[in-house]
Copies of this chain bind each other. A is one copy, B any other.
Amino acid sequence: MPTPARSVAEPAADPAAPSAERPSKHEDRREQLAESALVTLGTLGYAKTSLREIAQRSPFSHGVVHYYFSSKEELITSCVRHYKRTCVTRYDEIVASSTTAAELQSRFAEKLAGTIREEGPMHQLWYDLRNQSMFEPALREVVLEIDGQLEQMIWRVVSRYAELAGRAPSVDSSTCYGMLDGLFAQSLLAWATGPDTEREHVLSVLTARVHTLMPSLLG
């Protein structure tokens, strides 16, 4: 019998590598397809992304998707987890190596803007999926999980910022995340829908706003 798509994603019994050699071919291909899917989703949006489009932007044909994934739903959630792995620690290096509150604030604000510049479509996808989860229960679990991790990521920044400033945060983790995320999403929208000539300006405005907001997060 052939080896149909696997359900979850653990390196357990892999049909291609009985000797547990390396990142088994299977897992490799899965990630390759997930990568291709991420790019397509980020460009076209969740609503207009078909499996054929995803495959067309990969070295494979449309049928192969169902060889590695049991359904579109599994591919999408696999993608999102793949994306998560690379993104929820984005500011940890800054948190770890900054030595003053001012430095942390500066580098954080700068990186926040930079991540829009360099990974805009990926963030568009994230907000798209987060919204879709309000209509599609299948997405809720993975979305809420990542949302929680993003909140923790922001909280690591803010609490370290407070520590370096010798003060205590004046608002809780969730509120911090809500406000910063609001400003971020607002800038992303302007960045994505505005003219190219305005893009850098939008980012510098975001940086400035983060600079004015952060001090007010301390008690």
Interface centre among A47, A135, A182 (most CB of B within 10 A): A135
Chain B residues closer than 8 Å to A182, beta-carbon distance:
178-183, 185-186
Q: How far is the CB of A119 from chain B (nearest CB, A)?
A: 14
A134 contacts chain B at the CB level, 8 A cutoff: yes
B134 touches A131 (CB 8 A): no
* Chain A, 156-198, CB within 8 A of any chain B CB: 171, 174-175, 177-183, 185-189, 192-193
A105 contacts chain B at the CB level, 8 A cutoff: no
A152 contacts chain B at the CB level, 8 A cutoff: no
A212 contacts chain B at the CB level, 8 A cutoff: yes
Question: In the complex, what residue of chain B is closest to A134 when comparing beta carbons?
Answer: B192
- Can you list 9 A-B pairs with a CB-CB distance of less than 8 A? A124-B131, A128-B134, A134-B193, A143-B193, A147-B189, A171-B212, A178-B186, A182-B183, A185-B185
Q: 8 closest A-B pairs (Cβ-Cβ)? A: A182-B182, A45-B135, A47-B47, A178-B186, A134-B192, A178-B183, A179-B179, A178-B182
